[in-house]
Amino acid sequence: MATLIADTACVDPRAELADDVEIGPYCVLGPDVRVGRGTRLIAHVCMLGVTTVGEMNVFSPFTVIGGDPQDVSYKGSLTRVEIGDHNIIRESVTINRATEKEDGVTRLGSHNFLMAGAHVAHDCKLGDRITIANGSMLGGHVHVESHASISGGVAVHHYSTIGAYSFVGGQSRIVHDVPRFMLVDGNPSKIRCINVVGLKRNGVSSEGIDALHEAHRLIYRAKMSAKHATEILESHGHLLPEVRSLLDFIQAQQEGKHGRARERWRKS
């Protein structure tokens, strides 16, 4: 099918549009924008800077993709945004391009759902099948692993990592890494339990869930060291892949600073 561009859209002739792209009324696309097959920009969408968007995405009105990073050290270099396939980006979402402090890329994977007013700051890296609810904000250099869910009104401190299959409750303040498979909530946030609903929805076995329950009990309730907990988990046959993944995450977090694994790589 042919690409459709509304009469009121402003698309730079150097922008690259694949087949079956729909550019709705009053959209603005800069010269370094590339949009993949079947992607729809409903109306009033701005894509700026060096921005590459994959296939079959939907962008709702008043989203801004590829705007300057909100970082006073940024000097206008050609950093970029990369977005995968089959994402739903709702009204007024902002995804800023990167700074020069890491690899120069803000990246969003595929099959993600970003609800109205969500903000993805510079240098963030998001995996696949992530949900971020209304008004949540990711600070710069945040990593969100695949299958994580972030409720509405959450503020995530820069250089934090939100682990895979985790769940963050609404209006939480996240200043430490959120371990994989855990449910975190509050201000200040605390690890409450494992994310049972999310694990079941994503096909984690009952054995894996039971092992994660035991890991949570030992580490976060009995307050054991990860080393001691590992010994007990292994002796009871609970060192399943999910538990090993959790323990790897905790080890990286402990090797970091201020409860954030990636903080040790932070540049001033």
Write out the catalytic residue numbers: 122-123, 140
- For residues 172, 173, 179 and 182, what is the CA-based torsion angle, rounded to 10 degrees? -10
Burial (CB count <10 Å: 0-12, 13-18, 19+), residue 115: buried
Alpha helices in the chain (DSSP H): 196-201, 206-216, 226-235, 241-255
Instruction: Give how far Cα 89 sits from Cα of 43, 94, 128, 219, Å.
Output: 12, 9, 14, 37
Q: Give the SS3 label for residue 63.
A: coil
Cα–Cα distance, 45 to 75 (Å, whole number) = 25
Cα–Cα distance, 36 to 21 (Å, whole number) = 7
141's torsion region: left (phi>0), alpha (psi -120 to 50) or beta? left
Residue located via tokens 């790589």? 265
Residue located via tokens 């759902």? 113
124 contacts 142 by C-beta, under 8 angstroms = yes
Task: Give the type of residue at 22.
Answer: E
* Per-residue DSSP letter, 221: I
In sign, the C-alpha dihedral spanning 219, 165, 248, 176 is negative
